[in-house]
Every structure is written in structure tokens, then in C-alpha cells.
Structure 1
Amino acid sequence: MFALNSLRVAVLLSLGAHALAFAQEPAPPAPPAPPAPSPSTEVPVVATTPLQPAAAPAPAVAAPAATRPFAELVRGARQHPGFLNLYQKEEKVWIELRPDQFDRPLFMSVNMPNGLGERGVYGSQMGFSRVVTFHRIGNLVQMIAKNTQFKAIGGTPEAKVVAQGFSDSLVAIAPVSSGPNPKNQSVLIDANILLFGDIPGFSTRLESAFRLQYAMDARNSSFTSVRSDEAMTGFQVNAHYAVARIPAPPPVMPAMPAAIASPPTTLPDPRSMFLGFYYTFMPLPAEPMASRRADDRVGHFVTTNQDFSDDVAPTTAVHMVSRWRLEKKDPAQALSEPKQPIVYWMDANIPDKYRESVRQGILAWNAAFEKIGFKDAVVVKQQTAADRFDTMDARHASVRWFVGSDVGFAIGPRQVDPRTGEILDADIGMSDGFSRTARRMVSEDGMGGTVAFAPHDGDAAHEDRCDYMLQSGDEMGFAMGLLEARGELEMGSPQADAVAQAYVRSVIMHEVGHTLGLRHNFRSSTIYTIKQLQDAAFTREHGMTGSVMDYTPFNLALKGERQGEYVASALGPYDYWAIEYAYKPIEPAREKQELARIAARSNEPLLAFGTDQDAGGFNSDPDVNVFDLGSDPLAYFQRRLAISRELWDRIQNRTLKPGESYESLRRSFDYGFQQFARTMPVVVKYVGGVTYLRDHAGTGRATFTPVPLPRQRAALKMLTNSLFKSDSFTFTPAMISRLGADTFAMRGKADVSVGGRVLGLQAGVLDQLMSDAVAVRLIDSREKLDNPGLGLGLDELYSTVQDAVWSELKTGKDITGMRRNLQREHLKRVAVMLLRATPSMPADARSLQRENSLALQRDLRGAMARPASREVKAHLSESYETLSQALKAPMLRVGT
């Protein structure tokens, strides 16, 4: 038996050293000294072993020696009693585990209070959570993540089948450090060994971000603080990651530059970094919350389990609404305080001047809870120096600020009990750009630059990542520039500061909605008319959209129109409905019936719903969009393009004050192009577009309805007039020559390529209009019509685009350089369609393009006979030859 146990230990130690990367990696040469840990009110624990150059690899878990008596090991150690008792002696920390704590499921969360400040590695970020158990094998303790995704009723044959079919995962290991405690037979395990491995999997994340193989360095990692009470046990780890060397850049840039190493830019020495992880261990709720089945007509985040208990059900998937446990103190009262409110802690790192706006944004949700009988369901508390906890632990929902060199987003994630969908923790992260962008636009010159997009990865990140703050920051920059140019808002004034505060408050409302379990609702912007949106009293009462979970643009009136609220200040009707479905107290016996009644209201116009998968991609619903307003999205986009052109006209005639930087003109100029870049791809969705409703039977509405032909034609006309006409873009040389850049932040050439910006817009729209996906969409949409002639045809699409792009061939007008570039882009795509038939290309698309190409060839031949400049003649001749060769060449079938 002893030999068998020794073999088990050896195998598991090998697994810990290799598969789980617990072994010490080679240290980098001459790294910087570790930075001092951030101030903490808790007991600091520091590493004492310095990092040495060229250190030899050493296993993090050595072969277990004879254990020491419990009393001897803890003699002189400071005890932290709590959920898990801790003992601390200098840099060492031990966890005490009683016999009843082995193989007992508990909740573990891993959050990230400290980061790197670039490329997705930021501080104040919520990580992931697991249900884990401590399992003992001889003198080794495994921390095992339980597989909670698959289940069946306990004690049944189905439960045995599930257990045999799906595996748990080994997360970490540590040796037993002590003999049993004579009082309760508990033992100690080494927390330094257990938690100084790469449990968060950040070596892969760092490799993805920087293309460098950073490894966890356990020897130079340490506990910044440890804390334990009856509710939870927490460890903040200052984790060191290192790479032995930074490879030299290649002498010649490869074809795929993203594959080469790109070291961090925010570190004193890019070979070494310290990242902070906060590990929380706490009991799962002793009495699981009653779960609530989700309904696809209402947009909630869900916790999904695969339940194999019933082999009659059409699917094993069970979708439960993610929600907080909310129960009335007095169920008999129509309006009662909850037994336990949803408490949000405003972290001490939130700047003072924005705390009131953040508080208001959180508390705005109480209006929805009052409708279903809860008084003060949401409570806000401000963390002070007297509060001896980190809001990154799993017991304190929080709002935190964070900074970085490339950040510009906010995020509202949650961690849930996988058994029921109960939300146990939520930490809203707000980047410094949240305030800095607003303040910069207000106090400097009213314009903002584009914040770089921050990459993200991980399961929760894709679901929870919210770019509302990033994109609404651009919206605010555009709005402030326009209002300043109109003379309607003076930068640095109290009115301008009020707009910035309202902007912060509105985005907080949005992110809090995520932490309450609500998904995006991008159809909600269509429920009110433009006239209603111009009435500030109306929007303060009813909301600016159906839901604050939409991405709402600044509500800008055309010149001469009445101006309403700039940003949303109140919840919309959908928000009340979604909160009612998730949180309304319902007796169990009638819950199914009552939830069906609530969800059946989905066909009410004010409760319109469409979420992320409906808004993105070629086949998305054209009425489900980000940053639109009003009951007619096409009309809104036309208004926004008109405002963009107004901004351009105003900056062309603007006289700057002596000494004022030309950079402000450059930003306003670019904001206009941003509006075009945001608008045009959405307008394309109407071409062959199909609306998608989540109705269930009984509403009388079809699930899929093609966009009416007049609206498709209107969208196509908007595209051609805005992008493809000969006078779509005209700028004075005097204005272009003044578009100075920020010379401190400038990369590449300083001057502006207007033609390049215009061509980028045009090429992007051509890519969409002439894609296989749009061709398939047009053909498929006719299948849903009793009269196929009421759908837009491929021939009309291709002919309209070609006539607009090549209009000079018939009018005889001069073909400018900007127009020649557009025509080459169109011809390039036509030639590809003629020469390379992809598997997804409809046969009709290629045959119609061939017919159109023959007509274009005749027009080119006629134009070549007319007088023109040498550049134009060369362009026409080359275009004719390219088209002729494409028509003659044999077709290459791709993918066959």
C-alpha cells in the first residue's frame, strides 16, 4: 500500500509540475526589482527569495517529506479563523482543512485587481468562478473543479451515466504539511504551493496578447494579503510572470506580422511583470435559490445545464435566468423592503467628482423593482478606509475604476451559482476613459480622439464585454464638436460639465443592467418617434429608448429643430418588463402560468427586443442596430449623415483663435468619417434584409419578414448617393491643408489622406454589397414572399451600383482621382466574381455580373473615344483591358 501511495504521489507531482505548469520556469536575466505591493489594510505577506538570473528550474511541489506535528507547525503563526482557517508565519500561509471539508463543494472565484495596463490585461476585472472540492489522496490534496454543466437527478441510473460520461478537472495540488490536529483531526496544506500556479491560465492569455511564452514564476510570487471570516476566505496573490528573453525582431517583416513577438510597452522591463489575482473561497448557498426558467422573448443572461434526467424532453438544455436572490421581508405587503437588498459598493478608487453620477446610475434601477413590490431593492455604499475588504472578493458587488494605455470600455460581468443561476457577485469595471474622455472633451476643446479597441478573450469576456462606453465616447466627441461649432455649448461651462456627468450616469445604468442579468436590447431604439425624442419632458418620464440596454447615440437635433435630452436619463418600458420577468415574486404553484403571461406581452410595440446576434453580421435584422434612434432607422441614419456634413461645412468655415491648435479641426473631421463608417454598414443590412421576431405562436406575426421593397430601394439610394456619386465628398483645399495632428502622439505621416479615408468607406460598402452573403440573402428573402417580384433582385442591386460608380461614362464628366480609385475597387470585385467562383456564390450572381460587365465594356469603349486627360485615358484603357481579360479567362472554381 505504501508503494502504491508513493507511486500516486509521484504521478500527481509530475502532473503538477508539467501539465499544470507549477514548476518554476527559468528566470529572465537581469529583471527589475519587484514593485512594492499596493497599500492594504490587511496583513501583508511578502516573498523573501529574490529572482536570480539563470536560475535552474525547480519543481514547485517537492516529494512530500514526513509531516510535522500540527502544533509544532503553527507555533508562533498568526491565526485567521473563518470559513477556512488560515495560519500565517512570515511569507508562509497554511490552510486548515477539517475532515468534513474534504469532497465538499464550495464556490471559488478568481478576480484580477492588478493588471498590466494594455492589450486586455487590466486591473479591476472580474475573472471566472468554479465549484471546487478539496480531495485528499494520501499526503496530497487536489483542488478539483466539478463539472456542473451536466447533471441528472441524484441517486438515479442517469446520474451514474452522467458521472461516467463527463470528467471533472484538476485545478491545483498541494502536499499535506502537518499531522492531524488532535482536537478535530484537521490537517494543514501549503497555500503558497496551492495558489502560486497558473490557475487563471494567464500564460496562454499573455501569449495571445504578446506572442511571448510568459510562465508563472512561483518562487517570486507572494501573498499581498490574506483574509478569512465566517462568510469567506480570500487571498490576494502578487503573481510573477516572466520570460527568459525577448526575441530580436525579424530583419524583414513577415507576411503575417501579428504572429511575431510584440512585447508589452508599459513595463520597465518587458521580461518581467506582476499581476494581481484575488482568490475567494466561500460556501455555496445552503439552500439553493429557486431557479427561474428563461424565455427567449425576454433578454436575460442565462445559466445553462444539460439535464439527462428526462429522455422524453426534446433537448437536455435547461436555461435558467441569471438573477439575484430577492425576497420580500413582508410578503403580505404590496411594497416591502427585501430581506437582503442587492448592494453595490462604490470602490474607493472612483474619482470623487463622478461618484454622485455613478450612485444615481445604480439607484435608477429601483424604479423597476418598485413596480414589482420591492422598496429599495438596490442599495449603494461607498467604500472607505474603515472598510477592511477588497471589493474584488466574491462577497461585495462593486463598481471600480481602472486605467490602461489603450482602454476605453466598461464591463458588467456576473458570477453565478451554476445549480440555480443565482448571481453571487458582480463587479462593474469602468476604464479611466469613462471619465477622461468626457472630461477631455469638455475642458480642452470638446473633441475626443478614438480610444484603441482593447482585445478580450475567455468565455465570460465574449458574453459580457460591452463596448457601449467606448463607442458612446466617440458619440460624445462628435456631439460636443458639433455643439461647439454651432455655438450652442461653451466648453468648460457648467452646462458642458452637466452633459459629461449625464453621459457617465447613462452608461452606469447600462452596465448595472448587465449585472442584474439583462442582455443588450438593440431593437428598443425604434419605439419612439423623432418628435417624441425632441420632448425632454417625455423622455425623462418614459426613457429615450425602450431600454437602457441599447447603445443609444447622443440625441442631436438638426439645425433649427427642438433639442431634447442629449442622453438617456430614465429606464424604458422594456427594462421594467425584463425585471418583472426575472424578479417578480410568484407562488411556485402558479409560476409557470404567470411567467407565460408576462412573456406573452412580447408583441407589444413598447417591449420590442433584439439582442447581439440579431444586430451583427450580414444576415442580421436591419431594425436591430447599435446607435440609432427613432421609429425609422433609415430616416435616422439619413439625419446623422446630414449632421456629419454640417460638421464638415462648419469646420471648413471655422476661424480658430490665435494660438489654438489645428488638432481640434482634425478630430472633428475624423468624427464625421466615424459617423459614416458606423452608419453605412447598417444601411447595407436593409438590402435583402429580413426582420426577425422572437414571437411564439398566437401573435399573428411571422418570425421572418423581408424588408419591404420600397425600403430596400431607399437604403440602396442612400448608399449610392452618400458614397458613390461624383460629388459625394467635396472638401476645400484650405480646410484640408489645416488638418494638423497631435505631434506628440503621431505615428506615420502627419498629413491627411482624404482620398484614403473616402476609399476606405467605399471599399467597405462594396465588399458588403457585392458579397456572396448579400446575394444569398436577396435570393432567400424572395422565398418568404407570396409575390417574389416584391423583393429586390440581384440585377437591380448590381446595375444600380455599377451605374453610380461609373456614371461619368454616360455623362461625359471628368473622372477625378478619387473617382478613379472607386472605379478600380469596383472593377477588382467584378473581376474576382468572374474569375473565381466560390462555393457560396450563387450561380445567378456570376451570370448577372457577366452581363453587366459586357455592358460596362461597351461604355468604356465609347468613353475612350472622347477627349480626356492622359490620366483618365490611361485609366479607361487599363479598365477596358482588365475587364476584357476577365471575360475571356477560364473560371477557376475555388474549393472544388
Structure 2
Amino acid sequence: MKEKAFLHNLITICILLLLLAPLTVQSQKKKKDKKGETTEIKKDSTDSKKGKKYSDLVKKGTVKKGLFNVIQVKTDVYFEIQDSLFQREFLVVNKLSQVPFQVNEAGLNKGMNYENKIISFYKDTIAKKVWVKSYVPKVSSPKEDAITQSVQNNFAESIIEVFDIETKNNDSTAVVIKVNKVFDGKQKSFNDVLSNIGFGGSVKSDLSYIEGLKSFPKNIVVKSQLTTSVSEGGPALSVTLGVTSNIVLLDKTPMKPRFSDKRIGFFTEKHWYFADAQQAMLEKELITRWRLEPKKEDEERYLKGELVEPKKPIVYYIDPSTPKQWRKYIIDGVHDWQAAFEKAGFKNAVIAKEPTEQDLDFDIDDVRYSVITYAASPKSNAMGPSVVDPRSGEIIEADIIWWHNVMTSLQSWMRIQTGPIDPKARGNTFSDEHMGEAIRFVSSHEVGHTFGLKHNMGSSFAYDVESLRSKEFTAKMGGTAPSIMDYARYNYVAQPEDNVTVITPKIGEYDKYAIEWGYRWYGPNENETLKLNTLITKHQNDPIYFYGEQQENIIDPRSQSEDLGNDAVKASEYGLKNLKRVVDNILSWTYDKDQSYYETGKLYIGTIGQWQMYNRHVLNNIGGVYLNETVHGDNKQSYVPVPAAMQKRATDYLAKNVITIPQWLFFNDILDKTNPLKDSPLGPYEYTPYTLSRELQYGVMYDLFSDDRLLRMTENELYQRNKTKDPVFTVNDLFKKMHQSVFAGTIQNKSLSILERMTQKNYVDVLIVSTNKLFEKTDAKKLLDIQQTLNMPHLCGYLDDAHMARNINQSSLKRVTEVTSDKKGELNKILQLLKTKKSTGDISTQNHYRDLIQRIDKALNNTTF
């Protein structure tokens, strides 16, 4: 019995010890710290599936603390995501940070932002995974409305990636995931660089790797080297791209949006609004702008009209690779906007500076820094894109890309447009000071884009052409247009005797007005919409504040690129006078002993390009329509045809300066030394004067008789004659003037020169080709590609193509419009004239007439010849 009792007691004790074991272990986790306080010794967390220990990862690797703790173990990269960050919204921002020769040559450079997307992380404890979802943040509805459930179901998130949970941190408040696959090119979910830059294909994972990582309180920076293979008809080439992915934590509450008004030019983000009370969905556009607000303690002073410093100024850093002689001018171009922001109530709102030793974390590719990036490239351009929170339109960061060769464009503009009135703008090389002022102008223009401002191509129309010849007026207004966001370049109107010295574009009154409208802060008790509308109404009848949207196909001739003043004919006539002076001096301005005539040929083709630009400025007035953004109650007309008198003058200008090829431009002493030269991938490309003049003249004629232009003239004739007694310039008027000019020598029984025969062939061919095109049994969208042989260089022409100009349908069913009859009628008229005159003139002229008769006969299916 005693043995049984002892055994029973022993078993009881063992059971009690087993039951008390957890408590014993727990008690062993307690220890005294240095202060004598009891703390808990944490146990390593282990994932049952993977078997990884958090402490092992930390011990074996390096840890960078920040938004996510980033753990790197050899080549493996892990994110430690806190529970508080799940279901928060992040913006992934992808940029190029390094490119090889082949990509540079294609026009892609460091600093370019090629892809952004919003993502959220979701923790799945059952499947032990982290799901990543993305959505398009362009739809809203009130939380309490019944329709909100439908909005959530019809605009749901999409799963773009999944990660296994590798382990948890010690207190289980965060999970750890391995993220290599989304940054080393194996997966495209976070970064699809090849598709977004137009390469296509896939990344070679064995030739790609994660280069470096940084973690900060509100963003993660991951740099990678991604390699692909490119083949274009030859052997495959390996191309390695340096890319940087930023993962940025967005604010829980987005910035209060400001809705766009088409009477003022801001970039926008489209947004759809649903609500129970609606009878239709509401679509609005949010302007893109920085979150500029007064400090809490300054709000009252600000609302009283005092200038205050913003809570967070807009800061731009100058890329350390920028040549030192240009940095000051780029910084000055940024600071020139201070006056505009003062109009909005903020002082010291815009700052530009070079990074210093105090900027310990400075990295061009980090989205916390807005940088003016200097790109070593043969490309001649500059542009100013921004990274935007699509939920609200808030600009988070800006990247101005400044290509080294932009100075070639600046030099070309200045020599051709201002050389006759400014001796500093004549040589093959400018002084640093003169080039610096041009760089300052481009800096201001591109920075304007990063504030959200679009091109205002209609600004230059505000100034009377004669005013641009006034020394007093130009000095007072400080530029060539009321907005630096216009493509109003240098003052080509002013003549040498005018002694005008202020000839460079500068920030103007429209720019200050636009910044005030976009950035003035309003208190919670103010009616923001009313105040913004009042500001526009106050200025709506003053042409200085006119906004003219950039157009792909010019309908409104007020809003054109590179033009000056309110009268294209007069401005172009002044421009031609100066252009003749340039041509007379090309050989002397480009003289450089023992050097080739390369610079001469380049300057020569630039002057021809300027001549063609003047032609198009004038041309677009014919059949043009002034497009006004109108609202109820403003008593304005939305569509106003260009006055008939202006259209007649424009036609006469073309007859004088295009139909009659200018001999001084195309046939002069320069040809004894060089042809016009244009750079090409194979080296300088030469154009002979006969070929070049023929192509450029043809391009003007084809545009002049485009179907859309003639249809607008027909519409104007139909509407205006029924509405007013104002004279109308008709399609028949246009053909009559052109016919008389093109066939003047024929009507007078003269022998025709080579250029006169060329002009007649161009005219007839334009009518034949464009008429036949109406009856082609091909895709209705197919267009005859008339290549413009040369163009003056442009800046940032890529911007906002999706929002460019207004879409007006005048092109459907062209076959049954008057255009067909008008063009065929003109061909028949020419045919009858040529049959009458076919035996007049010399043998070359007669051969020419017979050729044209055969061409027209064939086109009209006429067999009487």
C-alpha cells in the first residue's frame, strides 16, 4: 500500500509540474533591468511554414529602419511591415536612374518618371500571405449614401502581387516578406519598366539585381539594375537600365482638391462623383498643385492680406552634375516665380538651392527631393513633369529634366530671331552671361509646368504687333507675352531702328494671375468656389489674362506656337525683314578660320525653318475660328470666325511669299559654300534648294487645302450668312486668289520658269492627291503623311497630349461634302485653261502643260485628251 501511495503521489507531483511548466517558463522570462525594474525577455518568433526566425534574419543581415524596416541578408531583401500600415495607401513611383548609350540616343534619360500606381498591402493570417492590391483612385461617393456600396463593387481593387509571410517580429506587430521578385525584374507588378518606355520584352533575371535600398519615415527607395535584350534587325544587344522605385506613404486624408476651370490653364486629374441625390454622374477635373498653406499661427494674418511664409515651401535642388556656370541662372529662373506666389499671399514660397553637407540623405532619385536633373545627351530639350497624388491632384515631387544640348536650340532661336537687333546673338559661341539669361528663361518656363501650369499658347495674342516695336512698352511689360508659359520666343518683330532691348520672354501678368487662382488659400468659412469665379470674372474681358489651349491641329490661330502679337500677317512681314538681314550676314556671323561650313549650313537651314514657321502662322488664319471658353451669363460667343479681311490678307501673304518662292532665301551666295544642313544619325544631311523649296511649298499648299480647313470655311459661310451681314471669306474666294497667283504666267501666255512650273505641279498634285484620298477604299483614319522637312526646335512638346485642344467634329462623310465638288471644280477650271494655253510659251512650258493635262485627265477619269 505504501508503495502504491508513493507511486500515486509521484505521479500527482509530475502532473502538477507539467501543469505549472508554462508558468515556470513565463517566470523565467522576467529579469531585472539596470534600474531594478522587471522586464520581459522576448522569445524569437518562428514561422511554422518557413521555419525562419526573426532574430536570425536580423543577425545575419543589415537592418535599415524607416517606413518599413528593410532587412537585407546577402542578396535577399525583406520588408518588415507594421500592422498599422496594412490597408494604407502607398504611391509607387518609378524612375530611370541610369541609362546606356542606346537608350540615351533614343531620348530616354536619368530622372524620367515612367510609371506610378497606388497600392495597398493586406495581411492574410489564414493563408499566411500578404496580398498587394491596386486601384484607380478617380471615383468618390459619400460614405453614408446607398450608392457607395455599388461604387465599391464596380470600382474595386485588383490583386497585383502576393508574398509569403516569412516570419513575424518579436512582439507580432509586424510581418516580414521577401520582396526580391518585384525589384529584380522577375515580376512586373511594381515596376514594368520595359513596357512603359516602349521596349517590350522581358528582363533577364540572371543579368539583373537589386543594387541598393534606403528606408525613411515616409518612403522606401529601392535601386535596381535591370537588363534586357534588344534586337532591331541586327545582333541582339544587352541593355541595362538603372531604375529606382520609391514607395511613398500617402496621407490618410488627401489634400482638399480644387476643381479646374477651362478659362485658366492647369494640368488636371479626372474624377467621377456619385451620390444618391444625383440624376447623373458628375465628372470633374482636379487641378494639380502643391499643398501650399499658411502656418496655423499665421492663418489670421494671411486672411487679412499680409504676406506669410508657407508651412512647407516648394524646394528645388540643383543636380550636382550641372556645370557650375549655369547653376546661378537656373536658380534665378526658379526664384523669378517668387513675385507670382506673393500675388497668392505667400512669401519665400519657392526655393532653389544646391545640396550641401547638411543634406545628408540627398539622393536625386528620392521622391522627397524635387530636382532639376542635368542630362548629358545630344537631345535638345527640357521638360518639367511632376509626381501627383491622383486622389487629390496634390503635387508630391517634381523632376525637371534639363538636357545639355538645349543650348543649341537657344542659340538657334536667338541668332535667327534677335541677331539683327542684338550683336551679342550673332557668333558661333555666346558669352556665358548671354547664354545664362536664355537658360534662366527656360528654367522659369519648365518650373512653371511643375507648379501645374499648362502651356498658354494664346497669351502672345494680347500684345499689339506695333507695341513689340516700342522700347517703352517692352520695357514696361518685361517680355514678349503676358505669360512665360506661351511659346512666345524672342522678339523677332522689333527692327534695328527701334532700339528695343527687352527681347526675352519673362514671367508676366497671366502667370501671376494663374498662380493666384491656383494657390490662394481660403479659410474653412470662405466660399472658395465663389471667390475663384469672381477672380476669373474680374479679368475675363482683358486679353492679357486670356488662356489659349495648346492645339495639335490649329483651329484657333490666336493659340499658336512660336508666334508673336495679334496680327500674324504683320508680325511675319516684320519677321521676314529681319530674316533677310540674317541671310545677308550668315557667312560673316558663322566665320571661323580653318573650320568647315557646318555652322553656316546649320544656321542657314534654321532661317528657312523660321520662314516656314511664319508661313504657318499666317496660314492658320484662313478658315480659322476663335474658340472661346464661355459660361452662362458672360455674353460671349463661343465660336467666332477669323474676320474675312484677315483671311484675305493671309491669302495674299502666302501668294507673295510661298507661291512665289523667295529667291533671296533659297538662291543666294551661301550656296557657293554650303547647302542647308540638318543633323541626322548618319551625320549632317544636305538639302538642295530646289528640292527643299519644293517640299516646303507643297506642305503649305496641302495644309491650305486640307479638307478640315475647307469644311470650316463652308460651315462659316453657311452660318454667318444666315446670322449676320458681315463679309465672309469663302472656299471659292480662296481658290480664285490661289488660281490667279499660281497661273499668272500662264494666263499672260508667258514662258514659265522652273520655279513657276514647280509651283503649278505642286498645286495640281495637292488637289489630285487630296481628292483621290476622299474615295480611297481604305481605313478612314489613314492619313497622307506629308513630312515636314524641318522644324524649329520646341521644348516640352510632349506635355498633356491627352487634354490638348477641343474636339470638334467637322470631318465625317467628307465624300458627300462641298469639298469634293470644290476641288474637282478647280481641277476642271485648270484643265480648261491648260488646254487653251498648251501651245504657248517655250518648249519646256508646253511639255509642262501637256504633263499637267494628262495628270488631271486621269484624275477626273476624263478621256477627251
TM-score normalised according to structure 1 size: 0.79
Measured in 2, the distance between the counterparts of 1:395 and 1:575 equals: 26
**Equivalent residue, structure 2, for 1:164:** 153
**Equivalent residue, structure 2, for 1:642:** 577
1:373 paired with 2:353, answer no
**Is the radius of gyration larger for structure 1 or structure 2?**
2
1:101 paired with 2:85, answer yes
Counterpart residue type for residue 547 of structure 2? G
Q: 1:315 to 1:523 in 2, by over 3 A?
A: farther
Q: Secondary structure at the match of 1:87?
A: strand
Q: Secondary structure at the match of 2:206?
A: strand
The 5 A counterparts of 1:271-310 are 271-310=237-276
**Equivalent residue, structure 2, for 1:188:** 176
Counterpart residue type for residue 263 of structure 2? R
Counterpart residue type for residue 342 of structure 2? E
1:351 paired with 2:323, answer yes
2:842 to 846, 868, 871: 868
Q: 1:610 to 1:782 in 2, by over 3 A?
A: farther
1:147 paired with 2:115, answer no
**Equivalent residue, structure 2, for 1:174:** 163
**Equivalent residue, structure 2, for 1:332:** 300
Deviations 1:728-779 (A, max 9, x none): 6664464313116889978489653111111121111111122111111101
Q: Is the 2:471–2:499 contact (alpha carbons within 8 Å) kept by the matching residues of 1?
A: no
Q: 1:397 to 1:611 in 2, by over 3 A?
A: farther
**Equivalent residue, structure 2, for 1:447:** none
1:598 paired with 2:571, answer no
Counterpart residue type for residue 822 of structure 2? L
Measured in 1, the distance between the counterparts of 2:158 and 2:226 equals: 22
Q: 1:677 to 1:531 in 2, by over 3 A?
A: closer
Q: Is the 1:775–1:842 contact (alpha carbons within 8 Å) kept by the matching residues of 2?
A: no
1:201 paired with 2:192, answer yes
1:231 paired with 2:205, answer no
Q: 1:743 to 1:643 in 2, by over 3 A?
A: closer
1:476 paired with 2:449, answer no
Deviations 1:41-90 (A, max 9, x none): xxxxxxxxxxxxxxxxxxxxxxx973412222222211111111111223
Greater shift after overlay, 640-649 or 734-743? 734-743
**Equivalent residue, structure 2, for 1:92:** 76
Deviations 1:819-857 (A, max 9, x none): 323322221232345556443245423333333333322
The 5 A counterparts of 1:524-543 are 524-534=459-469, 538-539=473-474, 541-543=476-478
Q: 1:540 to 1:191 in 2, by over 3 A?
A: farther
Counterpart residue type for residue 181 of structure 1? N
Greater shift after overlay, 420-429 or 132-141? 132-141
Measured in 1, the distance between the counterparts of 2:256 and 2:139 equals: 18
**Equivalent residue, structure 1, for 2:482:** 546
2:713 to 763, 768, 778: 778
Measured in 2, the distance between the counterparts of 1:69 and 1:84 equals: 18
**Equivalent residue, structure 2, for 1:54:** none
2:854 to 875, 881, 891: 881
Q: Is the 2:80–2:175 contact (alpha carbons within 8 Å) kept by the matching residues of 1?
A: yes
Measured in 2, the distance between the counterparts of 1:223 and 1:283 equals: 22
TM-score normalised according to structure 2 size: 0.82
Q: Is the 1:815–1:872 contact (alpha carbons within 8 Å) kept by the matching residues of 2?
A: yes
1:534 Cα shift? Answer: 4.4
Measured in 2, the distance between the counterparts of 1:147 and 1:732 equals: 58
2:108 to 121, 136, 141: 121
**Equivalent residue, structure 1, for 2:745:** 808
Q: 1:204 to 1:490 in 2, by over 3 A?
A: closer
Deviations 1:172-207 (A, max 9, x none): 44333x22223134222122123223344333345x
**Equivalent residue, structure 1, for 2:205:** 218
**Equivalent residue, structure 1, for 2:564:** 629
Q: Is the 1:574–1:606 contact (alpha carbons within 8 Å) kept by the matching residues of 2?
A: no
Measured in 1, the distance between the counterparts of 2:536 and 2:320 equals: 40
1:530 Cα shift? Answer: 4.0
Measured in 1, the distance between the counterparts of 2:170 and 2:353 equals: 44
**Equivalent residue, structure 2, for 1:44:** none
Measured in 2, the distance between the counterparts of 1:610 and 1:179 equals: 58
Q: 1:803 to 1:170 in 2, by over 3 A?
A: farther
Q: Is the 2:604–2:676 contact (alpha carbons within 8 Å) kept by the matching residues of 1?
A: no
Measured in 2, the distance between the counterparts of 1:664 and 1:568 equals: 26
- In the alignment, structure 2 segments of 5+ residues that lack a partner are 1-47, 776-812
Q: 1:496 to 1:480 in 2, by over 3 A?
A: farther
Q: Is the 1:529–1:630 contact (alpha carbons within 8 Å) kept by the matching residues of 2?
A: yes
**Equivalent residue, structure 1, for 2:14:** none
Deviations 1:133-155 (A, max 9, x none): 11245244333222212222235
Measured in 2, the distance between the counterparts of 1:746 and 1:229 equals: 44
1:248 Cα shift? Answer: 4.2
**Equivalent residue, structure 1, for 2:820:** 846
Q: Is the 2:382–2:403 contact (alpha carbons within 8 Å) kept by the matching residues of 1?
A: yes
1:215 Cα shift? Answer: 1.4
Measured in 1, the distance between the counterparts of 2:817 and 2:281 equals: 38
Measured in 1, the distance between the counterparts of 2:673 and 2:340 equals: 51
Deviations 1:400-425 (A, max 9, x none): 111334x2221111122222222111
Q: Is the 1:87–1:94 contact (alpha carbons within 8 Å) kept by the matching residues of 2?
A: yes
1:702 Cα shift? Answer: 1.0
2:513 to 557, 574, 577: 577
1:100 Cα shift? Answer: 2.8
Deviations 1:514-557 (A, max 9, x none): 11111111111122234543456654553321111111221132
| Identical-pair percentage | 23
Counterpart residue type for residue 595 of structure 1? L
**Equivalent residue, structure 1, for 2:121:** 134
Q: 1:565 to 1:302 in 2, by over 3 A?
A: same
Q: 1:272 to 1:310 in 2, by over 3 A?
A: farther
Q: Is the 1:601–1:607 contact (alpha carbons within 8 Å) kept by the matching residues of 2?
A: no
CA RMSD of aligned residues (A): 2.9
**Equivalent residue, structure 2, for 1:448:** none
Measured in 1, the distance between the counterparts of 2:395 and 2:413 equals: 32
